[in-house]
């Protein structure tokens, strides 16, 4: 993870050491002050509050690990966590595969490349709230365009499905939005990675008689490994922290955040309900740190696996 | 040889066809959004969906722009997004450069803390940030939005750019050091120009995130003259009978600046964007 | 990250509770936006909240509300109500902020934690017990000399929603309930002339609508299975949520009345009388109604103004909820007006509150669908002619369970009814399960 450090190690004399370090800390200082005040300090406060029974104006009572233990025994938390992991696996895989596909297509010299790039990128730059509303509208069980397409045009289904109201489909319908919205971003990253692959490698493979698939398998994929690792980690963090789309779509379609039947309750929607509907803020804080721990753990595992695979 | 070239030509056209088809699928939701924005209310949910409105109207755009102080909100959004992006990009580059190119006591700890903060859901920071803003007198001010948005983007910016700076060849910096360049001139004269693509990328991301944020805005602002665009758009949605045409028209207006920024920056970040980040 | 630094942070954390309590100062801190403008109150300050206007009171009053931005609510409030108030109190400046429901909730919670609250709030009636319980609200019955007089002028039902542990923490501001709206055109096409008054008659109407107009037109549409949606039917069938002293749901939420109501809804859904939108993911009920694909919906008094704008050609009639074994019951909604303890400007805040209950203010907001709470305005000629049916319904309408655990109770009911309607679980089993959850919540677990 840690990039190559360019600086030389400190010389022996403390004054020279200080003179060397001073400008470096100068570079760090403004950012760290901002970050310390507005992220680290609030985080520390919340962390402490996660060990208390905190319901707003009522006096704080320290409860030790009670909030964390309660979460571990809370079936709704486990349910939300497993939905979160499911959502993450599907959206990360979808974005990686389709983003790579899009990048491979646009890496060729085809006409209208820059227009297509913009088209793929449009979802990325549109606000989450708005695209969530658009998809709610697309998925409508009585007048949605998707049902019209599947029932009246393609005849794949014989009657419309209320995609966001079926407990078995709602979360995955929302995941489709997550994928659609992320393809463009993933594509841009892959495009950059592809441009760094040296053309000589392909030429050599072609001379060896490798077909398109073999060239993809043995040149493109291995060369893209660092790119893929980076994407894997960043997309995973994003998936585990999915909130706005689920909040907006579940409440618009079913009137309940996390509905129908809690099937779209992810950790963050559950956390929102605990904190802002129930005013159980100490518990909410504990849930946040549990999610952060899971996120850290998953990222570490992904990095380790990627490193192993690279060997 | 000729056969090979023809095969390649065919492949190119196949790729083109596939790319266009995929693009059309990606565009469906937008097509609905755009066509709905031009429809008067009663025609909103129609089956079969009609892409070209029967009686297209600009009413939704006019109402979106005039029913509230939309122009002022737009301006507020521009101020907040530009200022917070400038801060998040400048400070993020400085942090990333230090983390990537120098060793100093506390480096691992500070970077680890930065990464961990990125993993904690922002929702849990809301109340402590609110209390802090109150104590510093930053509630109900654009400055309060700017610092929070800058912070919100700082972590990812640092993480992304650190990879860029880290993958730059050591020789360039050594040569500069021989010429007497210090930390700051290495950063400014060598690091920043070489990381142009990465900086363009984080500029777009930071701007976009600040442009879209509404939770902090609505919680910390009480003066309507300070409202930003997302608050205005949100007020068009209501529990009863959302005017979809109006909501979509308002959001198309809001999309314009981000689109302009993307087009302006796109050359920068496709030529070599992320090369650095991915070598992390 | 297993570095010594982490240990240092933890060590720091151990010393920090002091900082935290200092940081989260509770609800007592004055609101900075309102503080500086308070001017000396002058010689008449002695009776702090006399019933007659004391125009010398000055200062700023912040007022948070959820008035809708695209309807006439904000417009009427700013162009009619506020100028009238400022005629009486030229020195009080009202800074009002309209915030959508979910965001208002989040803003209030954050404000409570940060001690930055408005002076006056238009609060959903189900929030009042909760905020009173937080100790954030002024007990108006002790703060206002003329409280009894003001309270006596309002309808007892809406007034009761302000009560918490022996005190009144607010006054009713507007009230509403849901009544049946019937689409004239659909009824005419189906050959129906008389509006049903009983469940049996409603069922006959449904059968006739389906026989004449086919399966594309429903008799009734609902947008979900939450308490607000299904309680009118549950109550009208003789069911309910809890016993009278709010200690247990057993025998009520899973009792015969509730079971009969849910069973009936399922039957209607299966027969195609009830639009599938009740299961979620469908077209908004107002859109179905306006588009003529359902004969009836249950709606509130704010809806006619919206229909007028969105479906100018639509005509419809109103009726009370069809009566069943439990009579014709609907659900009470509405807002109360409350004053936060943290207000630095109590006199001005109370003066504003009092004005919002005046006939003048109540009538102005009443004209655009915010039903007045004053008995004296009942039958007022300037108010919309559809109010009498809502008022009649309000006589038998009931309030949702006043409990801090209400959001969870609501979710339990919503899930149980949804499972039953979908056919995932038999009605009785689904309600038994919900009863267990609600009983646990009522017991404070």
Q: What single string gives the DSSP state of each residue in B192-241? A: HHHTHHHHHHHHHHHHHHHHH--HHHHHH---GGG--HHHHHHHT--SS-
C220 phi and psi, to 5 degrees?
Answer: -150, 145
CB contact under 8 A, B130 and C68: no
Which whole-number Å values give the CA distances from C268 to A217, C233, C263, C272, in the listed order?
A: 58, 12, 9, 6
Helix (H) or strand (E) holding C401: none
Contact A225, A309 (CB under 8 A): yes
- State chain B's mean pLDDT as an integer: 85
The beta-carbon neighbor of C100 closest among B112, B224, B234 is: B234
Q: Is the pLDDT of residue A83 over 60?
A: yes
C80 contact partners, CB below 8 Å, separation of at least 6: C364
Interface test with chain B among A17, A21, A38, by most B beta carbons within 10 Å: A38
**Nearest CA among A133, A87, A78, A135 for reference residue A242:** A87
Helix (H) or strand (E) holding C382: none
Buried b (16+ CB within 10 A) or exposed e, A133-167: bbbbbbbbbbbbbbbbbbbeeeeeeeebbbbbbbb
Section C133-153 average pLDDT: 93
Q: Half-sphere exposure of residue C444, counting CA atoms within 13 Å on the CB side?
A: 0
Q: Is the pLDDT of residue C196 over 70?
A: yes
Q: How far is C255 from chain B (nearest CA, A)?
A: 32
pLDDT for the residue C23: 41
Q: Is the pLDDT of residue C186 over 90?
A: yes
pLDDT for the residue B5: 52
CB contact under 8 A, A7 and B162: no
Residues 95-124 of C with CB under 8 A from B: 95, 97-101, 103, 106-107, 109-111, 113-116, 118
Q: What is the share, in percent, of chain C residues with pLDDT greater than 70?
A: 87
**Nearest CA among A7, A8, A38 for reference residue B97:** A7
Tokens of A187: 């594509």
Greatest CA separation found in chain A? 81
pLDDT for the residue C315: 96
Section B271-278 average pLDDT: 48
DSSP A278: S
CB contact under 8 A, A255 and C224: yes
Give B-chain residues touching A188 at CB under 8 angstroms: 201, 269-270, 273-274
Question: Scanning every residue of chain A, which has its alpha carbon at the shortest distance from the alpha carbon of C103?
Answer: A276
Which whole-number Å values give the CA distances from B230 to A249, B70, B213, B233, B236, in the listed order?
A: 17, 10, 7, 5, 10
Using the Cβ of A135 and the Cβ atoms of chain C, whether some distance falls under 8 Å is answered with no
pLDDT for the residue C34: 35
CB contact under 8 A, C283 and B45: yes
Q: Is the pLDDT of residue A49 over 80?
A: yes
Helix axes B2-37, A75-106, angle to 10 degrees: 130
CB contact under 8 A, B116 and C1: yes
Termini Cα distance of chain A:
15
- State chain A's mean pLDDT as an integer: 88
Tokens of A68: 């964390």
Indicate the CATH number for domain C179-330+403-442.
3.40.190.10
Contact C150, C430 (CB under 8 A): no
What chain A holds in terms of domains, given with CATH numbers, is 14-49 (no CATH), 68-310 (1.10.3720.10)
| Higher pLDDT, residue B23 or C16 | B23
Return the domain boundaries, chain C: 29-176+333-396, 179-330+403-442
Q: Is the pLDDT of residue B39 over 80?
A: yes
Q: What is the share, in percent, of chain A residues with pLDDT greater than 90?
A: 53
The beta-carbon neighbor of A140 closest among C13, C23, C282 is: C282
Tokens of B227: 């409202």
Q: Is the pLDDT of residue B279 over 80?
A: no
Cα–Cα dist A108/B144, whole Å: 46
Give B-chain residues touching A196 at CB under 8 angstroms: 272, 275
Cα–Cα dist B202/B208, whole Å: 10
Contact C293, C280 (CB under 8 A): no
Residue C198, Cα to own-chain centre: how many angstroms?
26
Question: Scanning every residue of chain C, which has its alpha carbon at the shortest distance from the alpha carbon of A46?
Answer: C20
Helix, strand or coil for residue C172? strand
Using the Cβ of A174 and the Cβ atoms of chain B, whether some distance falls under 8 Å is answered with no
Question: Scanning every residue of chain A, which has its alpha carbon at the shortest distance from the alpha carbon of B144?
Answer: A38
- State chain C's mean pLDDT as an integer: 87
**Nearest CA among B266, B201, B215, B129 for reference residue A234:** B201
Q: How far is B130 from chain C (nearest CA, A)?
A: 7
B269 band by pLDDT with thresholds 50, 70 and 90 = low
pLDDT for the residue B197: 82
Give the CATH superfamily of C29-176+333-396.
Periplasmic binding protein-like II (3.40.190.10)
**Within chain B, where are the H helices?**
2-37, 59-66, 70-101, 107-119, 126-135, 142-166, 170-178, 183-185, 192-194, 196-212, 215-220, 229-235, 244-270
Greatest CA separation found in chain B? 75
Tokens of B83: 């200022």
Helix (H) or strand (E) holding A40: none
Q: How deeply is B43 buried, as exposed, middle or buried, from its count of CB atoms within 10 A (0-12, 13-18, 19+)?
A: middle
pLDDT for the residue C9: 39
**β-strand pairing of C167-168 with C163-164:** antiparallel
Helix axes C199-213, C256-271, angle to 10 degrees: 10
Number of H helices, E strands in chain C: 20, 11
Cα–Cα dist C104/B219, whole Å: 8
Q: How far is B45 from chain A (nearest CA, A)?
A: 6
Cα–Cα dist A268/A246, whole Å: 9
Using the Cβ of A209 and the Cβ atoms of chain B, whether some distance falls under 8 Å is answered with no
Compute the radius of gyration of chain B from its Cα atoms: 24
Which whole-number Å values give the CA distances from B123 to A102, A285, B149, in the listed order?
A: 33, 9, 14
Give A-chain residues touching C215 at CB under 8 angstroms: none
pLDDT for the residue B7: 58
Q: Which residues pair with C338 in a beta bridge?
A: C121
**Same fold: C29-176+333-396 with C179-330+403-442:** yes
**Nearest CA among A271, A294, A246 for reference residue A91:** A246
Cα–Cα dist A79/A102, whole Å: 34
CB contact under 8 A, C280 and A277: no
Section A181-190 average pLDDT: 90
DSSP C154: B
pLDDT for the residue B270: 60
Termini Cα distance of chain B:
41
| Higher pLDDT, residue B57 or C384 | C384
Question: Is the peptide bond between A84 and the residue preceding it cis, with omega within 30 degrees of 0?
Answer: no
Cα–Cα dist B245/C95, whole Å: 31
C419 contact partners, CB below 8 Å, separation of at least 6: A261, C425, C430
Q: Is the pLDDT of residue A4 over 70?
A: no
Q: What is the share, in percent, of chain C residues with pLDDT greater than 90?
A: 68
The beta-carbon neighbor of B91 closest among A30, A111, A180 is: A30
Q: How far is C196 from chain A (nearest CA, A)?
A: 27
Question: Is the peptide bond between A293 and the residue preceding it cis, with omega within 30 degrees of 0?
Answer: no
Any idea which of B228-232, C201-205, C260-264 has the lowest mean pLDDT? B228-232
Q: How far is A270 from chain B (nearest CA, A)?
A: 12
Q: How far is C241 from chain A (nearest CA, A)?
A: 19
Greatest CA separation found in chain C? 82
CB contact under 8 A, B219 and C303: no
Section C300-322 average pLDDT: 91
Question: Is the peptide bond between B48 and the residue preceding it cis, with omega within 30 degrees of 0?
Answer: yes
**β-strand pairing of C120-124 with C332-339:** antiparallel
Tokens of C177: 């309930």
**Nearest CA among C216, C223, C218, C221 for reference residue C207:** C218
Using the Cβ of C360 and the Cβ atoms of chain B, whether some distance falls under 8 Å is answered with no
Cα–Cα dist C175/C365, whole Å: 11
For the CA atoms of C187, C190, C195, C199, the dihedral, rounded to the nearest 10 degrees, stands at -120
Interface test with chain A among B7, B19, B144, B268, by most A beta carbons within 10 Å: B19
List of chains touching C (3+ CB pairs within 8 A): A, B
Any idea which of A26-30, A211-215, B107-111, C201-205 has the lowest mean pLDDT? A211-215
| Higher pLDDT, residue C41 or C239 | C239
Contact C104, C137 (CB under 8 A): no
Question: Scanning every residue of chain A, which has its alpha carbon at the shortest distance from the alpha carbon of B26?
Answer: A120
Section A3-30 average pLDDT: 73
Section A47-75 average pLDDT: 90
Helix (H) or strand (E) holding C317: strand C316-319
Section B104-120 average pLDDT: 90
Residues 179-238 of C with CB under 8 A from B: none
The beta-carbon neighbor of A127 closest among B95, B151, B230 is: B230
Any idea which of A231-235, B253-257, C66-70 has the lowest mean pLDDT? C66-70
Using the Cβ of A206 and the Cβ atoms of chain C, whether some distance falls under 8 Å is answered with no
pLDDT for the residue C56: 82
pLDDT for the residue B236: 76
Q: Is the pLDDT of residue A129 over 90?
A: no
pLDDT for the residue C340: 96
The beta-carbon neighbor of B241 closest among C24, C101, C286 is: C286
* 3-state helix, strand and coil shares in percent for chain A, rounded to the nearest 5: 70, 0, 25
Query: Other C-beta atoms within 10 Å of C68: how many?
Result: 22
Cα–Cα dist C225/C269, whole Å: 13
**Within C198-280, where are the H helices?**
199-213, 227-236, 256-271
Q: Which residues pair with C408 in a beta bridge?
A: none
Residue with tokens 């801090």: C404
B144 band by pLDDT with thresholds 50, 70 and 90 = very high
**β-strand pairing of C120-124 with C92-98:** unpaired
Q: Half-sphere exposure of residue C277, counting CA atoms within 13 Å on the CB side?
A: 26
CB contact under 8 A, C70 and B235: yes
The beta-carbon neighbor of B49 closest among A25, A31, A148 is: A148
Section C301-326 average pLDDT: 92
Cα–Cα dist A279/C75, whole Å: 33
Cα–Cα dist B159/B147, whole Å: 19
Q: Is the pLDDT of residue A259 over 90?
A: no
CB contact under 8 A, A281 and B127: yes
A3 band by pLDDT with thresholds 50, 70 and 90 = very low
Residues 25-44 of A with CB under 8 A from C: 44
Using the Cβ of A226 and the Cβ atoms of chain B, whether some distance falls under 8 Å is answered with yes
| Higher pLDDT, residue C68 or B95 | B95
Q: Which residues pair with C198 in a beta bridge?
A: C323
Which pLDDT tens digit goes with each residue over B81-90? 999 999 999 9
Question: Scanning every residue of chain A, which has its alpha carbon at the shortest distance from the alpha carbon of C9?
Answer: A44
CB contact under 8 A, A120 and B23: yes
B222 band by pLDDT with thresholds 50, 70 and 90 = confident
Q: How far is C29 from chain A (nearest CA, A)?
A: 11
Query: Other C-beta atoms within 10 Å of C135: how many?
Result: 14
What length does chain A have? 311
Section B154-171 average pLDDT: 87
Section C167-187 average pLDDT: 96
């Amino acid at each position: 993870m840690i990039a190559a450090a360019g600086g030389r190690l400190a010389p022996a004399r403390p004054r020279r050491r200080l003179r060397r370090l001073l400008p470096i800390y100068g570079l760090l200082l403004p950012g760290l002050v901002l970050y310390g005040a507005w992220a680290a300090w609030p985080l520390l406060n919340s962390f402490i509050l996660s060990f208390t029974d905190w319901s707003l104006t009522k006096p704080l009572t320290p409860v030790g690990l009670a909030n964390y233990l309660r979460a571990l025994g809370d079936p709704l938390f486990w349910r939300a966590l497993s939905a979160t992991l499911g959502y993450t696996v599907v959206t990360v895989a979808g974005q990686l595969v389709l983003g790579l596909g899009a990048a491979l297509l646009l890496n060729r010299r085809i006409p209208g490349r820059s227009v297509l790039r913009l088209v793929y990128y449009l979802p990325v730059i549109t606000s989450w709230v708005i695209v969530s509303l658009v998809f709610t509208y697309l998925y409508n069980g009585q007048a949605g365009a998707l049902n019209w397409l599947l029932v009246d045009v393609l005849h794949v289904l014989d009657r419309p499905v209320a995609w966001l109201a079926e407990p078995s489909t709602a979360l995955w319908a929302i995941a489709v939005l997550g994928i659609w919205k992320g393809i463009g971003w993933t594509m841009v990253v892959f495009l950059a990675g592809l441009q760094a692959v040296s053309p000589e490698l392909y030429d050599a493979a072609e001379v060896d008689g490798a077909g398109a698939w073999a060239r993809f398998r043995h040149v493109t994929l291995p060369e893209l490994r660092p790119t893929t690792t980076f994407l894997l980690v960043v997309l995973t963090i994003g998936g585990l922290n999915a909130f706005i789309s689920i909040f907006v779509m579940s409440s618009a379609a079913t009137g309940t955040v996390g509905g129908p039947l809690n099937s779209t309750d992810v950790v963050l929607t559950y956390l929102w309900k605990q904190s802002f509907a129930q005013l159980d803020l100490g518990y909410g804080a504990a849930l946040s740190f549990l999610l952060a721990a899971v996120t850290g753990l998953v990222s570490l595992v992904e990095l380790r696996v990627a490193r192993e695979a690279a060997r | 040889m000729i056969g090979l070239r023809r095969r390649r030509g065919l492949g190119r056209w196949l790729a083109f066809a596939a790319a266009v088809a995929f693009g059309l699928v990606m565009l469906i939701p937008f097509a609905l959004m755009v066509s709905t924005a031009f429809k008067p209310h009663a025609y909103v949910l129609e089956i079969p969906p009609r892409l070209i409105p029967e009686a297209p109207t600009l009413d939704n755009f006019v109402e979106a722009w005039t029913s509230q102080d939309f122009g002022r909100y737009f301006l507020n959004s521009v101020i907040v997004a530009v200022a917070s992006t400038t801060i998040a990009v400048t400070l993020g580059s400085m942090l990333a450069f230090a983390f990537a190119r120098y060793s100093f006591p506390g480096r691992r700890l500070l970077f680890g803390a930065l990464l961990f903060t990125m993993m904690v859901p922002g929702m849990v920071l809301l109340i402590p940030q609110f209390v802090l803003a109150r104590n510093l007198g930053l509630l109900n001010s654009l400055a309060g939005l700017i610092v929070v948005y800058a912070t919100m983007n700082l972590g990812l910016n640092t993480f992304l750019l650190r990879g860029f700076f880290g993958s730059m060849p050591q020789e360039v910096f050594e040569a500069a050091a021989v010429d007497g360049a210090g930390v700051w001139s290495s950063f400014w004269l060598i690091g920043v120009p070489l990381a142009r693509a990465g900086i363009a990328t984080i500029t777009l991301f930071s701007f976009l995130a600040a442009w879209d944020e509404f939770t902090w805005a609505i919680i910390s602002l009480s003066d309507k003259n300070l409202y930003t665009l997302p608050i205005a758009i949100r007020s068009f949605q209501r529990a009863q009978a959302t005017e979809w045409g109006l909501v979509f028209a308002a959001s198309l207006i809001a999309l314009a600046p981000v689109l302009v920024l993307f087009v302006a920056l796109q050359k920068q970040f496709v030529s070599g964007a992320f090369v650095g980040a991915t070598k992390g | 990250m297993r570095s010594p630094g982490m240990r240092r942070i933890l060590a720091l954390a151990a010393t920090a509770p002091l900082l935290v309590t200092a940081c989260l100062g509770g609800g007592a801190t004055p609101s900075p936006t309102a503080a500086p403008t308070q001017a000396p109150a002058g010689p008449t300050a002695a009776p702090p909240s006399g019933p007659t206007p004391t125009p010398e009171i000055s200062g700023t009053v912040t007022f948070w509300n959820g008035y809708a931005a695209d309807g006439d609510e904000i417009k009427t409030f700013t162009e009619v109500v506020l100028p009238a108030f400022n005629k009486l109190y030229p020195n009080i400046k009202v800074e009002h902020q309209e915030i959508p429901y979910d965001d208002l909730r989040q803003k209030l919670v954050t404000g409570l934690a940060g001690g930055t609250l408005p002076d006056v709030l238009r609060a959903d009636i189900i929030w009042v017990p909760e905020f009173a319980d937080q100790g954030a609200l002024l007990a108006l019955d002790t703060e206002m000399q003329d409280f009894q007089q003001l309270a006596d002028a309002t309808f007892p039902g809406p007034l009761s929603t302000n009560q918490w542990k022996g005190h009144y923490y607010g006054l009713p501001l507007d009230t509403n309930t849901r009544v049946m709206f019937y689409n004239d055109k659909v009824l005419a096409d189906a050959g129906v002339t008389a509006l049903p008054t009983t469940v049996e008659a409603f069922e006959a109407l449904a059968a006739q609508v389906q026989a004449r107009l086919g399966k594309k037109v429903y008799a009734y549409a609902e947008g979900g299975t939450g308490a607000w949606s299904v309680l009118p039917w549950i109550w009208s069938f003789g069911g309910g949520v809890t016993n009278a002293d709010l200690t247990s749901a057993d025998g009520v939420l899973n009792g015969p009345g509730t079971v009969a109501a849910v069973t009936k809804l399922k039957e209607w859904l299966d027969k195609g009388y009830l639009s599938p939108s009740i299961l979620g993911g469908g077209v908004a009920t107002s859109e179905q109604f306006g588009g003529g694909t359902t004969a009836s919906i249950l709606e509130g008094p704010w809806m006619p103004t919206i229909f007028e704008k969105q479906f100018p050609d639509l005509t419809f009639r109103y009726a009370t909820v069809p009566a069943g074994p439990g009579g014709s019951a609907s659900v009470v909604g509405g807002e109360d007006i409350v004053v936060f303890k943290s207000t630095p400007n109590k006199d001005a805040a109370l003066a504003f509150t009092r004005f919002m209950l005046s006939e003048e203010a109540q009538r102005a907001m009443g004209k655009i669908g915010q039903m007045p709470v004053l008995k004296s305005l009942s039958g007022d000629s300037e108010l919309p002619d559809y109010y009498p049916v809502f008022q009649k319904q309000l006589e038998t309408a009931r309030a949702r369970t006043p409990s801090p655990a209400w959001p969870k109770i609501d979710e339990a009911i919503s899930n149980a009814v949804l499972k039953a309607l979908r056919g995932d679980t038999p009605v009785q089993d689904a309600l038994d399960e919900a009863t267990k959850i609600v009983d646990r919540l009522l017991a404070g677990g």
